[in-house]
Amino acid sequence: MTDDCLRPISIKNDVFTVIGPSGEMTIPYGETSFTVLKEIYKTRIKETGAVNAAAIMLDGISLMSDLRAAILECRKIGSPIYVMLNVDGELLTENEMPADAALIVAQSLGAICFGISSDDTRTLIDGVHRIKPCSQIPIAVRPVGGTLTDDELKELLKAGTDVFIGLTDECAARFQNIISTEGYAPPEIDYIDSVMLAGERSAFFLEHDTTEISEPIECNAGMGEDLIAVCEAGGYDVLKIQINSPDDALDFADNAHMATLPVMFSGDDEIAMKLAVMLYQGRALIDGTSLIDPDELKNTAGKYGAVIY
């Protein structure tokens, strides 16, 4: 990272077409289906003129369902997608979506940059330290007010910040001076090399040689108690969810919030598998022993950010 093109950059707010949260709660928390939520974002893209945008910023989103629906619809138009979360001192959004889980999902779906915003610089510094090792895309910060001291800029650079968004002209000039000096060196980051998964409320990191997968859990309308029981029993790292039909996918989606472990979808019905992965608000595994055509399985995993395991 010694080339200028790979050095951290500063970007003004006005380069983005901004799309905010929908305000909708999806099933089971509300009455909006995920399919309808995607249509809401499709309409919003047209209304904001994002179809012709140089870059899109998904700004202030605080729910995993909103994040996924927005990215899935925005990427259809081909514009670069930036994600910016407003976080508190624990790196949680207003609706308690963790920044690391959101990053894992956003980059798996094709976002090109992921950032955090706060009026507390220490939150930004500590936040970058926490999420940078999970990143496969550039990490951004946006300080409320647009200004940072030189020491704060240096700390953020040392933590691994790649993009500074919304800096004042004066602060941007000082930033440019810092990274233009011969003393600047890219930070050394110890990136996570395990399998990164996520649910609505947690990020998960799995090691191939030690991961324990549960026995298949059958789907039904009241399966929430089964999910809780397996999670509380201990001994497993992943819940294997048996998906045999589209109804199974719908039943699991209604109960997925009960699971406190990452999930693996297992089944041989192509339509049911696609539905299950689309409706899961996180990043899931797909059982690689499925009898579904390997190319179709790969396409499903790629479209929805899942991992074939």
Closest C-alpha to 100, from 81, 119, 87: 87
pLDDT of residue 2: 34
Looking at residue 4, what is its pLDDT? 44
Residues 110, 256 within the same domain: no
| pLDDT the model gives residue 169 | 97
**Which residues of the chain register pLDDT less than 70?**
1-5
Closest CA to 163 of 134, 142, 190: 142
Q: How far apart are CA 21 and CA 54, in angstroms?
A: 20
What distance in Å separates the CA atoms of residue 148 and residue 264, rounded to the nearest whole number?
43
The pairing of strands 239-242 and 195-198 is: unpaired
Q: How far apart are the first and last CA of the chain?
A: 32
- How many structural domains comprise the chain? 2
Do 164 and 286 reside in the same domain of the chain? no
CATH of the domain at 68: 3.20.20.330
Q: 89 is in which domain, residue-wise?
A: 4-180
d(CA 19, CA 121): 25
Of 180, 203, 236, which residue is a domain's last?
A: 180
- Residue 292 counted as domain residue: yes
pLDDT score for 5 = 47
Residue 188 lies in a domain: no
The answer to whether 49 and 78 are in contact (CB under 8 A) is: no
What's the CATH number where 303 sits?
A: 3.20.20.20
